Amino acid sequence: MFFNYYSMGNNYEKHLKAIGSRFKELRKSGGYSSHEKFADAHNIERKQYWRLEAGKNFTMVTLLQIVEAHKISLEDFFKEVKYTKTE
């Protein structure tokens, strides 16, 4: 069976946007004024990193690259993700 998270309503989209906001927050707190500068400094494709901050779907490997670049654990990353309540 094919799974399409877009067909599941807006719940996943809201979570992805919250995660994207966390990526952006970390980048800015790390002193990077743009997603391009962060991506270049950490050998990540610019467009790929932009998509992350925009709340687009990503792979687990990409998530691990980002938390490693910020020198934080997955637990610390997700502790600060600000989710909105879903129905």
Judge whether residue 6 has pLDDT over 60: no
The better pLDDT of the pair 56, 12 is held by 56
- Structure confidence at residue 84 (pLDDT): 67
Residue 16 inside a domain? The answer is no
pLDDT in tens, 40-69: 999 999 999 999 999 998 899 989 999 999
Take residue 79 and report the two structure tokens written for it: 């502790």
Residue 23 lies in a domain: no
Q: Write out the two tokens for 21.
A: 């906001």
Q: Containing domain of residue 73, as a range?
A: 33-81
**Quick check: is 2 in a domain?**
no
Nearest CA among 30, 58, 64, 70 for reference residue 50: 58
CA distance 4 to 17: 17
**Does residue 45 lie in a domain region?**
yes
User: Is 11 within a domain?
Assistant: no
Whether 42 maps to a domain, the answer reads: yes
